[in-house]
Structure 1
Amino acid sequence: MTAGKLCISATLLSLLLVSLTTKADLVVLQYHHISDATPPSTSTSVSLFKAQLDVISDLGLEVVDLHEATENLFSHSPSMNQSIALTFDDAYESVYSVAADILQKRTLPYTIFVDTKAVGNQGYMTWDQLQALAERDGVSFANHGAGHGHMARKPSEPKADWKQRTTQSLDSAQAELQKKLGTGLPLFAYPYGEFDETLEAKVAERGWFGFGQQSGAIGPLSGKTRLPRFPMANAYGQLNGLKDKLTSRAFPVDANALPDGIMASNPPTLTLPLVEKIKPARLTCFASGMGRIDFEVLGDKISVKAPRPFNSRRFRYNCTHPAENGSFYWLSQQWLDLSQPED
């Protein structure tokens, strides 16, 4: 082989290695209302929504179909392109009256997770409106349960009762979506983002992907029944941190080895394996309402624990670490205190 061919081969090998180490992930954005007049905690203003879409476009990121992209990510030959998927929980009317036209003009696909019992109630879409959206290109519908109940098993709830009510919610919603909209996508969004291992098992038994409300990107090591999404309501979707979220990478640990988030002690301890890509000196962790928190390196583990107890039903530990090309590995561990009252 000539020196010139050796040089070309070395260059190609170098490019291949770079592509393998910089493989991109899927970032899923979670919305509820797109409105200036609905509850602030679950609303994204119209101007902010448009600005968020502008940032996605300016970064050259492709907006993709959620189901196809998730299937692709866990395939033997996943796409190498960083991509974005848009999701809307509950099927609020503002998605039909405001967001749908904005997205249609930009030819962007999106998925609506439908609470089938809420359809037709005040503030929600009707079945006619959902059927009208179903006729548009790029619009898909998926399961958000029937009634938006808290689905993790309650501390004093008999197992048989829990099994009956969760099975009813999951399966009746899926049947209704099939009947009314002709869709049976294997996608489920947990109400309130709450889940436990037994609920995850139900989702897995059905061959579905399960999506939460904890932040982060989705990669091959993400748990198929605990997939993260970035909340995009006004409080969380401001533009000053949006680029880091859109270009984030999945944290390089096996998500299935992490806890389901049901809290055994308060404050809880999150234990992470110390993997090659994570350098403790570059790791930063935060806790809901407490800002940055400390962690300990104990042998081949990282132990993350808030300095004081929490008094809310749901809260999170978020950890980030620099990745390639100015992006960040991003991990969000949601915790659920079942002793606290339901919403």
Structure 2
Amino acid sequence: MRTRSSSIIVRLATGMMSGLVAFGLLMPVAVAADWASVIMYHRFGEGQHPSTNIKPEQFRDHIAELKSGKYTVLPLSEIVDRLERGEELPDRTVALTIDDAYRSVFDVAWPMLRDAELPFTIFVSTEPVDKRFSDYMTWDQLRLLRDAGVHIGHHAHTHTRLPALSPDQVMAEIKTANERFDAELGFVPAIFAYPYGAFGDEVKTVIRNAGFKAAFGQQSGVAYSGYDRFELPRFAMSENYGGIGRFRLAANALPFRVKDVTPSDNVLSRNPPIFGFTIDENYGSLKTLSCFSSSQTGGAVPIEKIGGRRVEVRVSTPFKSSRGRINCTLLGPDRRWRWFGSLFYIPNGVGR
């Protein structure tokens, strides 16, 4: 991930306000920030798909938390624009996103979000809608959402793993979906989400050249103004990872600013990867820094700290499927966690 310089003024203002609050000179307020947590869902009340489903009662708890007064829920497009311009956001800014346009979004999630008056973005792959798959929404339903102010995002045409395609094939996916969006909704979405969260340098280049303003993956982390806007992170929620405790951790998370990430490409040529990064901000003690790999069980994996800010993660077990994750966390102020995650695509024959 390549980063740009973040707003020093925003950080200084945030630190000064936090200090005044700590000494009782000001009441707690939503201080200025240059980051936001983006939450991702797929299915609602579809218990036969637990890895992508959230239970309705879990979702109600999430909405109640967001309505508690601690958070500012904004449309994803507004957050993207303000981060790109380096503008301030309220602390604990959150965006809600939903991938794939399953029918349960229309039947279960939308009525709850509509009643709560919470904005959200739904990322649509056009082929399943065109083919009228029974568990997907229809174009008529998507038009109803559009007319009600729901934001529609781009999720390619066939919902395939884009790194498995050639750049020309990826562009064909985009162009086909563009034609269908324009024909059915009257516009082409400006924000993209990678199917399965899978991307690499070649795919990112195609998406950038296709004219999108930003693209989101499925790696955990907080989006901030210096983050590469074509690999922005999201926190995925599911039955097993969607309890109110984890939701609060994600919604309250702080940015983990890093640079010089290796490997630089999320499509692996070596499995397991030689993974490392340089911390791009002074966080003080790193005693609570831990990293976890989806290929290894039993807790955190070994890390080596070099020169104060360089971190090398020692993953010894290869990823067994086409996707692999490494997540690193660091305890920050007020018991809020900093998150930095990477999601890798592992081609067939690369260590698995």
TM-score calculated relative to the size of structure 1: 0.86
Moved more, 18-27 or 42-51: 18-27
2:91 match: secondary structure: coil
**Alignment pair present for 1:244 and 2:252:** no
**Alignment pair present for 1:186 and 2:184:** no
1:293 matched residue in structure 2: 301
CA distance in 1, matches of 2:97, 2:44: 12
2:126 match: secondary structure: coil
* Counterparts in 2 of 1:16 and 1:216: CA distance versus 1, 3 Å: closer
2:344 matched residue in structure 1: 335
Q: Verify the 8 A CA contact 2:83 2:225 in the aligned structure 1.
A: yes
Moved more, 278-287 or 227-236: 278-287
1:212 matched residue in structure 2: 217
1:62 matched residue in structure 2: 72
1:293 match: secondary structure: coil
CA distance in 1, matches of 2:346, 2:233: 19
From 47, 51, 63, the counterpart of 2:61: 51
Which is higher, the Rg of structure 1 or of structure 2? 1
**Alignment pair present for 1:85 and 2:95:** yes
Q: What RMSD, in angstroms, separates the aligned Cα atoms of the two structures?
A: 2.3
2:286 matched residue in structure 1: 280
Q: Verify the 8 A CA contact 1:222 1:255 in the aligned structure 2.
A: no
2:173 match: secondary structure: helix
Moved more, 42-51 or 296-305: 296-305
1:196 matched residue in structure 2: 200
2:21 matched residue in structure 1: none
Deviation, structure 1 residue 226: 0.5
Deviation, structure 1 residue 235: 1.7
Q: How does 1:125-274 map to 2 (within 5 A)?
A: 125-137=137-149, 139-153=150-164, 162-208=166-212, 209-254=214-259, 259-274=264-279
Deviation, structure 1 residue 223: 1.2
Write the letter of the residue equivalent to 2:326. Answer: Y
Q: Verify the 8 A CA contact 1:280 1:297 in the aligned structure 2.
A: no
Moved more, 309-318 or 225-234: 309-318
Write the letter of the residue equivalent to 1:82. Answer: R
Structure 2 unmatched ranges of 5 or more = 1-11, 19-30
1:73 match: secondary structure: helix
Q: Verify the 8 A CA contact 2:32 2:88 in the aligned structure 1.
A: no
The sequence identity of aligned pairs, in percent, is 28
CA distance in 2, matches of 1:207, 1:15: 34
Deviation, structure 1 residue 33: 0.8
Q: Verify the 8 A CA contact 1:141 1:183 in the aligned structure 2.
A: no
Moved more, 276-285 or 28-37: 276-285
CA distance in 2, matches of 1:246, 1:258: 28
2:321 matched residue in structure 1: 312
Deviation, structure 1 residue 36: 3.8
Q: Deviations over 1:70-101 (max 9, x none)?
A: 11112132324321111111110000111111
CA distance in 1, matches of 2:17, 2:335: 15
Instruction: Report how many aligned residue pairs link the two structures.
Output: 320
Deviation, structure 1 residue 287: 1.1
